[in-house]
Chain A
Amino acid sequence: MTILLAAVLVLVALGGTAVVLTRDPVNQAIVASFYGLLLGLTFLILQAPDVGLSQITVGAVALPLMILLALAKVRRGSR
């Protein structure tokens, strides 16, 4: 339990760093999605499956999708 939590916390720290170090917005949206999945896993291990499910749907699906759609709109507008 503690080992699992420690492992997933390290993964979250690495994931957060990876999001910051990814500079291209499109790639960043995908990395952020993966980071959202890791956070969801953390909540699951902390025995909060409701929050974990919300985190996965919002952090791993809805947020990156909105970023990608907004980017597509902005890029099209500037052409």
Chain B
Amino acid sequence: MRPATRRRAFLAAAAVVGGLLVWGMGGLPPAGVYNGPYGLVLNQVAVPERHATNVVAAVTFDYRGIDTMGEEFILFAAVVGVAILLRTMRGEAEHEPEEEVRGRDVPGTSNAVRVAGLAMLGPIVLYGIYVVAHGHLTPGGGFQGGVVLATGALLVYLSGEYVTLRRVRPVNAVDRAEAAGAGAYVVIGLFGLVAGGSFLYNALPLGTTGELVSAGTILPINVAVGLEVAAGFVLLLSEFLEQTLVLGASGRTGP
């Protein structure tokens, strides 16, 4: 297709899609106007019923906790899939990480990056823990806090060497942490089944609204999700880095 024809086809398609978008958005209710009954009811009952000041967390980790369990296992399956796809293949052999090989003209990490990375490591990990632990009080929770925690591992890689990351990340421990996080969600659900009569029933004491230890099972579920997400992302990161920096084909021919 000639560029001119292609541009004409694009402009026609863009005009149609743009027109439909404007037409559709014209029919939306104004920002802030909400007509569904479910959200209004939740806003009324979530704080007295669950003692969670973050109503979003009360919905995702309690009222609709089973949906969130599904989401957690989607991530779990995705990470396991990547780990299986990137496993050490026959014909691949470990060699020295490229960063370690002398004479390769890779610019070294600058001291500014090292210092900034190390200085940010502590605050980032602390912030990640804060976001996980306060999910039922303020915006945040296990998913967001877990990713923030995992960026700590990225900072270690950026400010040190890959070898350092390998040392602080014993692969078995990360594997187990990921599985334990995913499993703990199910265990908390079964606890609700035993103690309260339905899966994921919030059977723990609700405590005082606004305190760190309150809102029953929402906090432990957030911790489980945070562990799973952080371990999952560290696993993804290290599987990719392993593939890129350590593994290489050793005299293998063909595809």
Contacts and interface: CB of A to CB of B under 8 A. Distances in A.
Nearest to B86: A73
Given A50-B139, A53-B131, A53-B139, A65 B237 contact: yes
A25 B248 CA distance: 23
Contacts of B141: 50
A69 interface: yes
A73 B140 contact: no
Contacts, number: 44
Contact of A69 (B131, B143, B244): B244
B128 to A, nearest CB: 10
Contact of B240 (A49, A50, A69): A69
User: What is the interface residue range for chain A against chain B?
Assistant: 10 to 19
Contact of B244 (A49, A61, A72): A72
B22 to A, nearest CB: 13
Interface in A43-57: 46, 49-50, 52-54, 57
B54 interface: yes
Interface stretch (B101-109, B147-155, B210-218): B147-155
A26 interface: no
Interface of A: 5, 46, 49-50, 52-54, 57-58, 61-62, 65-66, 69-70, 72-73, 76
Given A50-B57, A50-B139, A57-B148, 16 more contacts: A5-B31, A46-B31, A49-B139, A50-B56, A50-B141, A53-B144, A57-B147, A58-B147, A65-B237, A66-B236, A66-B240, A69-B236, A69-B240, A69-B244, A73-B240, A76-B243
28 contacts: A5-B31, A50-B54, A50-B56, A50-B144, A52-B139, A53-B139, A53-B144, A54-B144, A57-B147, A57-B148, A58-B147, A61-B147, A61-B151, A62-B147, A66-B236, A66-B240, A69-B236, A69-B237, A69-B240, A69-B241, A69-B244, A72-B240, A72-B244, A73-B240, A73-B243, A76-B243, A76-B244, A76-B248
